[in-house]
Amino acid sequence: MDLPCPEWIKYAEQKWTRLESATRERFSVFTDIDDLFHLGQSQLQPEDLEALSKISEKYSVKKSSECAARFREQGNLSFKEKDYSSAALYYTLGVCHAEKNTEQLSLCYANRSAALFHLGLYTKCLEDIQQAFDEGYPSHLQYKLMDRWTQCTNLVKMQEDLKASPTKHQTPQTNEDTDSSTNVLAAVSAHFHPEKGRYLLATEDKSAGEIVLEDEAFSFVLIPVNRPYKKSGEASIFTTESRHCHHCLCENFNSVPCRGCSYAQYCGQRCEREAWKQYHCWECSVGSELLTLGLLAHLALRVTLKAGIKEVQQARESCFKFVCEVPKATFISSDGKTGNGKPCSSGGTSDSLGLVSEPNVEGTLMSNECFQGSNHSSCYHGKSYLGIYSLLPHVGKHSPNLRFLLAFTMAALTHRLSLDVPPCHNHEECVCWGSEQSLLGATALRHMLQLQCNAQAVTAIKVKEDTSLPVQSSKEFRIATAVFPVLSLLNHSCQPNTSIFFSLGLSSFGSSTPVDFASGVTVTVRACRDIAAGQELLHCYGPHCHRMDVEKRQYLLLRQYYFYCQCEACTLELADRSRTLPLTLNGLKCEKCGSFLKRNVDVHVCSKLSCNHHILNTELQRRMQILHHHLEQALELMENNQLNGALSILQKTAKLADSILMKIHPLQGELADAMARAYATMGLWRQAASHLKSSIAAVCSQYGKDSLELGRQQFKLAQLHFNGGDGPSALSVIPLARRLFSFHCDPHCKELQELQAMEACLSSTT
């Protein structure tokens, strides 16, 4: 949850309605964040803190031997069923809940080592065996671990020998490969305009697929989707928080637990130490409250703690030191020089992301040193706190009751933090924060307001863990929420010219500083179509012209980002709505003549003038619900390996769909994709490929011919042709899929590697 849990929101709303009208009016006109925080702080009473404590009880992060034993038993059941991935994750939950220096902890480590052994993760298995010994594993059972230790040591040595042996497939990394992804702002310049705020222009031509820039997240928080824990046996218990390091987000099966709470877990001791030093020494004791008060409050606090009190004070001084008249369109190039530029007329005109300043009551502009001094490049990288602090909080655009909720929430959180000054790595920093509760709270409140518009969902593609499937199904998951200094400068377009790809885990960021490790999340921005020098770089905030109509897009953008979108896609769609909306977006079919349907107020009518057919919207909605229900039934049967029953339902549903839906309708694509999966599981490759081609037509219509979604469907089609032994067809599809993945993804992503391997295999046999 991004905002606080429903119980706390309801409590804060009741608090707001009980305020005296004069206090509410005073709060409603405040635009200064310090004033907002102080008023929220003044309304905080002991009973409010008691209420927070009671609500937080169900989000407990305390260590518990009882919970550890329960998770270990669940892991044992999965292990017996040879579901070693689930077993390892259950044992990880046991490791996180077990108290330090207990037999329960040693047993969890030992059992997890067995699961890791069967998963082929021998080095990680050895690490867990050592941890089990360190935690006092029972002496009468140690012979089992010693046997496993010997087997693992031999297997690891064999793997190392194989890696050391040169093969004809190994190619050395070239400097060209390294340099292509290290120039953060070499090909762009940052500009400013009072109506648009900061925005980025390309300084050189970029072809589709080329990297435009990279950015490092200043901070991020893993999405806590599993609190409170679901009951045993529910498949959704393992998602992001059980699989990813809470500090660098890399995926792993043998997490190292936090020393103090059962929630935070890490990929190794290094991340555990860094997290504790930067922020978790504060967060650990209030983990339950953070889960209660929501992800945005958590991320806002973490940004503040990671920056540190000195950086916060310097940023506050910088952003309020200079007062100047609203400037002309000034810009900052990647070399730090300033000049004048013209406002870009194409694309979105949002001022919601990346404005460096906002007007004060006299109509002048409060500006920061990014636009005043000579060293501008310091604002544009992941470690730049000033780049984060200078983002607009949009105080006046948030509703008064939402502002109160955020201020009251942050006041409660900072008060809870002030009760315990943690044993930080930097004692001076901890003492300062402990005595500067108002500074900590007001700064975190500023970031919480900013994040309403500037938070970025970090996503990754997850492949379904079912090795029996010949064609793997995948889905995009939201892993974390982050804030990026440079990415936040990109304005919105409903038809953007860039796409983004996230890399997770600590890595060297930039060839010029090979020992400078990224925070754990980096984003690569690529051109998804050709971009000419001088053209604005545009990013989609969510509403895309291929996925929803213009009215819905503009409503969502205005509600969340506070701007009325005037991008090229919106302008064209509004100018010629009668043609574009009914004929390309709804995909509804006239049962009488087969033409498109157009929507009127209460009915859909045939677009063909000579046809008088019409259908009530309520009847059309009812029939669509039936189709969706049948599809869900079929998918559930497929999950339970009842393929014949699933196919029977899908075939009947497809006939019903054909009567009211064009082949380009998204639901037609979903039905065809499901039938392709069913036939592929049965080994009927030709039938599967035929249905997947129908799905591809719908996906292309919905997402566009240059979309990543289309690339994923082409990738699956290549797999079907390859598995079915149809080499020529596979070779004809592989370049199409590779082209689309190269537009959007890292050159070393799994899909591109598999496409390359398939092509090499097929080429060697022809």
Q: Which residue, chain included where needed, has tokens 């039905």? A: 671
50-54: Cβ within 8 A, 24+ apart: 51/11, 52/8, 52/289, 52/292, 52/293, 52/412, 52/416
121 or 368, higher pLDDT? 121
What's residue 582's pLDDT? 39
Contact assessment for residue 455 and residue 294, using Cβ atoms and an 8 Å cutoff: no
Structure tokens at 254: 């043998």
pTM exceeding the 0.85 threshold for the entire prediction: no
What's residue 583's pLDDT? 38
Q: How far apart are CA 758 and CA 512, in angstroms?
A: 35
Structure tokens at 329: 């369109």
Q: How far apart are CA 718 and CA 712, in angstroms?
A: 10
Among 19-33, 114-128, 501-515, 544-558, the minimum mean pLDDT is found in: 501-515
Mean pLDDT to the nearest integer, 352-368: 32
pLDDT, one tens digit per residue, over 140-196 is 889 989 999 999 999 988 888 776 655 443 433 433 333 333 344 567 888 887 777
User: Please, which pLDDT band fits residue 317 given cuts at 50, 70 and 90?
Assistant: confident
Cis peptide before 735 (omega within 30 of 0): no
Q: How far apart are CA 312 and CA 644, in angstroms?
A: 63
* Backbone φ/ψ region at 98: left (φ over 0), alpha (ψ -120 to 50), beta: beta
How is the beta sheet containing 338-340 ordered, strand by strand?
A: 197-202, 188-193, 330-333, 338-340
What is the average pLDDT value for the chain, to the nearest integer?
81
User: Please, which pLDDT band fits residue 41 given cuts at 50, 70 and 90?
Assistant: very high
Alpha helices in 262-399 (DSSP H): 269-275, 281-283, 287-293, 295-307, 309-321, 385-389
CA 136, chain centre distance (Å): 39
DSSP character for 165?
A: S
Structure tokens at 431: 């003492």
Contact assessment for residue 509 and residue 518, using Cβ atoms and an 8 Å cutoff: yes
In 630-660, which positions are buried (b, 16+ CB within 10 angstroms) versus exposed (e)? bbeebbebbeeeebeebbebbeebbeebeeb
Alpha helices in 308-436 (DSSP H): 309-321, 385-389, 400-418, 427-435
Q: Are strands 491-492 and 538-539 parallel, antiparallel or unpaired?
A: parallel
Amino acid at 548: M
What's residue 327's pLDDT? 39
> Is the predicted pLDDT of residue 668 greater than 90, yes or no?
yes
Contact assessment for residue 487 and residue 220, using Cβ atoms and an 8 Å cutoff: no
User: Please, which pLDDT band fits residue 496 given cuts at 50, 70 and 90?
Assistant: very high
Angle, vertex CA 108, rays to CA 105 and CA 112, nearest 5? 145
Angle, vertex CA 16, rays to CA 10 and CA 19, nearest 5? 145
Mean pLDDT to the nearest integer, 275-284: 92
pLDDT, one tens digit per residue, over 53-92 is 999 999 999 999 999 999 999 999 999 999 998 899 999 9
pLDDT, one tens digit per residue, over 430-471 is 656 666 889 999 999 999 999 988 999 998 766 555 444 555
Q: How far apart are CA 385 and CA 101, in angstroms?
A: 39
Amino acid at 443: T
